[in-house]
Amino acid sequence: MGAFTATAFLFLNLLLLLLLLPDPSKSHPLCTDSRAPFTVNTTLSFCPYNGSSCCNSTHDLQLQKQFQAMNISDAACASLLKSVLCARCDPFSAELFTISSVPRPVAVLCNSTVSANSSDSGQAANDFCSNVWDTCQNVNVLNSPFAPSLKGQTGLPANSSFNKLTDFWQSKADFCNAFGGASTDESVCFDGEPVTLNNTETSSPTRGLCLEKIGNGSYISMVAHPDGSNRAFFSSQQGKIWLATIPEQGSGETLGLDEPNPFIDLTDEVYFNTEFGMMGMAFHPNFAQNGRFFASFNCDKVKWPGCTGRCSCNSDVNCDPSKLAPDNGAQPCQYQTVIAEYTANGTAMEASLATTAKPLEVRRIFTMGLPFTSHHGGQILFGPSDGYLYFMMGDGGGVGGDPHNFSQNKKSLLGKIMRLDVDNIPSAAEIDNLGLWGNYSIPKDNPFSEDSDLQPEIWALGVRNPWRCSFDSERPSYFMCADVGQDTYEEVDIITKGETTVGAFMRDLIPFLLISHQEEIHLQSP
């Protein structure tokens, strides 16, 4: 896996969108629970936040009860403190209630003007903090949110008593030093109304992405259920696959995943280590009808009799495995990469309704011995337009720089992206005659049809360790891969089949994004 790790298949999308993210120094909508603001379906009865908000009706009722419990006698002060409580519904509440990563009991109250080139408008001239002090300083408030004990904390004080601001703070300056803040080019503050940003500048489309946490777990892959339902498959590096239900966006519900009862358990076959394990899974485009699915994993031939395959270091690629030194204590090709087919079809059961599958191979699609213990990719996925199985394979690793030049060797399958036909399985005799690595056939339009020097499985060459790849849903001809770099850069390549000469293959690996190891990257919601 090299420098790349993943908890979900969206990792590549995160990388691709880095170039599209706004300036991280600017303010962006985000709620205090790290979720993106959502559109309120019903009008809130207490807080004046409709449309985009961080509160639903339940949150709104909780704030109303908190406000009523404060028992504020002065109408003017009550109006101001209601707006302060309701600031938790503001689409910018995460920033309003956090300063230097420390949560606050109330929003940052505007208490100064801003620079002329600020992005804020409404917050620019309203010294709201002073207004709160002047209006409420001598008003009794039960369980005041401005108690000194609450500074930098959340929740309410344990005692219930009426208090005035003057009981806690010696002066307006003292109060606003604790709860006030300036609205600047880099931040926002609360002025009694929902935060608005300057709209005089030329507007641009929303860019970037929002993430919503729906559960905890260590999953290396995620694949949507082919039937189009709100279900998805998750896999662990150890070798288990779960079928889970994805909650509706903004519902606050968690991932419906039964950890003790996986969809399938392949841990007896999978060799798990830092660089090894189950690397990918793919479900046939017609899975709902035929129940076919595939797992890509590593095995250890010392521990599992089913781990048998030719070594990728062989005479065809001018490599002698006897001359390779052991790598991390393992002999060359002791570890293998495997693609195996399984079925979810049960007795009188539609595959789309299956919740479990037996860990029995239907057939072995591919097996190949690995010369070293790193850079062996392993992702598999079906092409959205052609229905073929794409298999990502690294250059084999070892010492830096691909010393055996596997990636550029047209006869080696290391450092390649392969395209296999798993719907038309040839006979055993044909497989032997063609020198295939398992039960698959070769798509007739693979690049070997115009470059006879290429191994027929190869669809693209010259990659180092393509860890996660994805087809562009709008333009399926665009195939993007996050590829591990060495020492200085990681990269995302746009890989297109295009022309089929050697030079064209190299040109087709277009660096879409380079990430320096020396740079710190921040992901931020739009």
Q: Average model confidence (pLDDT) for the chain?
A: 81
Q: What is the pLDDT of residue 503?
A: 30
* Inter-residue contact 60 to 44 (CB < 8 Å): yes
Tell me the C-alpha distance between 519 and 490, whole Å: 11
- Residue (of 411, 325, 338) closest to 372 by Cα position: 325
- Is 81 within 8 Å of 72 (Cβ atoms)? yes
Q: What is the pLDDT of residues 257-283, one digit of tens each?
A: 999 999 999 999 999 998 899 999 999
pLDDT value of position 208:
66
pTM value surpassing 0.85: no
The pLDDT value recorded for residue 99 is 57
Structure tokens that stand for 391 in this block = 């298999």
Q: How far is CA 245 from each of CA 248, 319, 349, 358, rounded to the nearest angstrom? A: 10, 47, 20, 21
Whether residue 54 contacts residue 40, with contact meaning beta carbons closer than 8 Å, is answered with no
Task: State the pLDDT at residue 183.
Answer: 59
CA separation (Å) from 124 to 49, 238, 286? 21, 55, 58
**Of 36-40, 60-64, 335-339, which gets the smallest average pLDDT?**
36-40
Does residue 20 surpass a pLDDT of 60? no
Strand order in the sheet with 264-265: 221-224, 231-235, 240-245, 264-265
**Quick check: 10 pLDDT over 50?**
no
| SS3 sequence of 408-461 | CCCCCCCCEEEEEECCCCCCHHHHHHHCCCCCCECCCCCHHHCCCCCCCCEEEE
Tell me: the pLDDT tens digits for 153-188?
333 344 446 678 988 888 998 898 888 887 554 678
